[in-house]
């Protein structure tokens, strides 16, 4: 069996989410800050009249930014149980089809916060694809 993932990078790490969860991918939008929000919430985006929470995946996954800090992130808007949520990512990749035989457990180098949000890790030809559970990633109940 195989699955398709929308891939993106946070720092130099390749992540993916189930392509069926992706509503759209858009350039960086102006954010409205939310006072007293969890640290992962960068703000709110007005997406054609729909107010969408924008999550900073660097903060959510506890991954330090690398490279150019002046580059605007990209929004990957997900359709989740709680409604649309935007993930702010460094770079968007391709949609990849990965067969189940390439699944592996997360390596010990993955930090605990990221490990909690993974469904699996897929071994690609030259790197690992860390597959995020979209619903758990956007659920901030008790997490930064």
Place of tokens 């690398």: 66
Please tell me the predicted confidence (pLDDT) of residue 16: 97
The residue ranges of the chain whose pLDDT is under 50 are: none
Average pLDDT of the chain is 90
Please tell me the predicted confidence (pLDDT) of residue 142: 59
Please tell me the predicted confidence (pLDDT) of residue 45: 95
> pLDDT digit string (tens) for 47-75?
999 999 999 999 999 998 876 666 789 99
- What value, to the nearest 5°, has the Cα angle with vertex 25 and ends 70 and 11? 40
Place of tokens 């195989």: 2
Q: So where are the chain's domains?
A: 2-138
Please tell me the predicted confidence (pLDDT) of residue 120: 93
Q: Which architecture does CATH list for 2-138?
A: Beta Barrel (2.40)
């Amino acid at each position: 069996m195989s699955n398709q993932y929308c891939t993106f990078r946070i720092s130099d790490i390749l992540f993916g989410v189930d392509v069926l969860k992706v509503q759209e991918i858009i350039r960086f939008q102006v954010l409205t800050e939310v006072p007293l929000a969890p640290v992962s919430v960068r703000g709110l985006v007005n997406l054609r009249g729909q107010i969408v929470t924008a999550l900073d995946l660097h903060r959510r996954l506890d991954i330090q930014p690398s490279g150019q800090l002046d580059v605007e992130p990209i929004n990957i808007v997900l359709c989740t149980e709680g409604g649309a949520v935007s993930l702010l990512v460094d770079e968007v990749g391709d949609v990849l089809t990965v067969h189940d035989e390439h699944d592996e457990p997360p390596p010990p180098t993955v930090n605990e916060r990221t490990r909690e949000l993974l469904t699996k890790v897929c071994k690609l030809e030259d790197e690992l694809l860390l597959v995020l559970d979209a619903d758990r990633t956007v659920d901030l109940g008790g997490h930064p």
